[in-house]
Copies of this chain bind each other. A is one copy, B any other.
């Protein structure tokens, strides 16, 4: 029993432990939500990465904010350019990074100097606020089922655990998409508005976070033998329709999402003694599930 001590501190509270009058848990709310409160994710925005060890991870690409960068990544995927990538860096409490050898030529139609897509005019989007304080931004919330941060004028995709960004050199317009990284560890929000964020890993995070940390400076692998090679990196839309993994994401404008956030901020059940009364944006990423 004691080994289950932390059980109820999790999102997934077994139904059986709750009295029928108890407030619903976050997972119960999702289970009881209506199918109309979920939106299917386009196969053209799912980047499926298969590693040489047989594991997979899937990036959900945002195609309405960092358009130039997302377009580049789709060109690279459609060209099978990333099939020869390696995991080159694992820095504890920071990032896992992958790419190909420096200097590998890019497909012709990749934009070589995409604009720095760090912030986007708030007026272009329907912003739904999360009502809790944030250390790094004056406002946080959601746009079309993506977590965002903002300052009243602009919005941006924050560097939360599992968010994917585009590596760049010193100049802001040199992140072509040929090197990507994902945040592992406590969210490094100071990177917000300094690097373009393009997506979110929705499947297989544990297949990246459990990799050996690199022994070189900033977690780069010093020996090629430490690197994990990719088998392939393609969009779901490149697969025959029946072979595509299908996912859906909750509509952040739905009632069930409101209830879910409220339940995350005020955890109930027999374990919790003092509900936090708040939840931060990086613990509020909209739930995703396999589509039936």
- Interfacial residues, chain A to chain B (CB-CB below 8 A): 1-10, 12, 88-95, 97, 99, 102, 116, 118, 132-136, 160-162, 167-170, 172, 174-175, 178-179, 181, 184-195, 205-206, 209-213, 217-218, 220, 264-265, 267, 270-276, 278-280, 282-283
A93 in contact with B190 (CB, 8 Å)? no
A276 in contact with B189 (CB, 8 Å)? yes
Q: For residue A210, which residues in chain B have a CB less than 8 angstroms away from its CB?
A: 90, 92, 209-213
CA distance A112 to B272 in the complex (A): 21
B190 in contact with A276 (CB, 8 Å)? yes
A5 in contact with B175 (CB, 8 Å)? yes
A3 in contact with B179 (CB, 8 Å)? yes
CA distance A220 to B3 in the complex (A): 9
Specify which of B10, B90, B188, B264 is in contact with A283 (CB 8 Å cutoff).
B188
Chain B residue at minimal CB-CB distance from A214: B206
A185 in contact with B184 (CB, 8 Å)? yes
Which of A9, A193, A194, A276: most chain B CB closer than 10 A?
A9
Q: For residue A264, which residues in chain B have a CB less than 8 angstroms away from its CB?
A: 190
A9-B186 in contact given A92-B206, A135-B132, A278-B135 (Cβ < 8 Å): no
Q: For residue A280, which residues in chain B have a CB less than 8 angstroms away from its CB?
A: 135-136, 189
Q: For residue A116, which residues in chain B have a CB less than 8 angstroms away from its CB?
A: 273
B189 in contact with A186 (CB, 8 Å)? no
Chain B residue at minimal CB-CB distance from A281: B135
A186 in contact with B209 (CB, 8 Å)? no
Q: For residue A168, which residues in chain B have a CB less than 8 angstroms away from its CB?
A: 2, 5
A-B contact pairs, 24 of them (CB 8 A): A1-B102, A3-B88, A3-B89, A3-B179, A4-B218, A5-B167, A6-B89, A6-B167, A6-B181, A6-B195, A9-B190, A9-B195, A10-B91, A10-B218, A12-B218, A118-B273, A118-B274, A136-B276, A160-B186, A185-B185, A189-B283, A190-B275, A194-B271, A209-B209
Chain B residue at minimal CB-CB distance from A186: B161
B95 in contact with A6 (CB, 8 Å)? yes
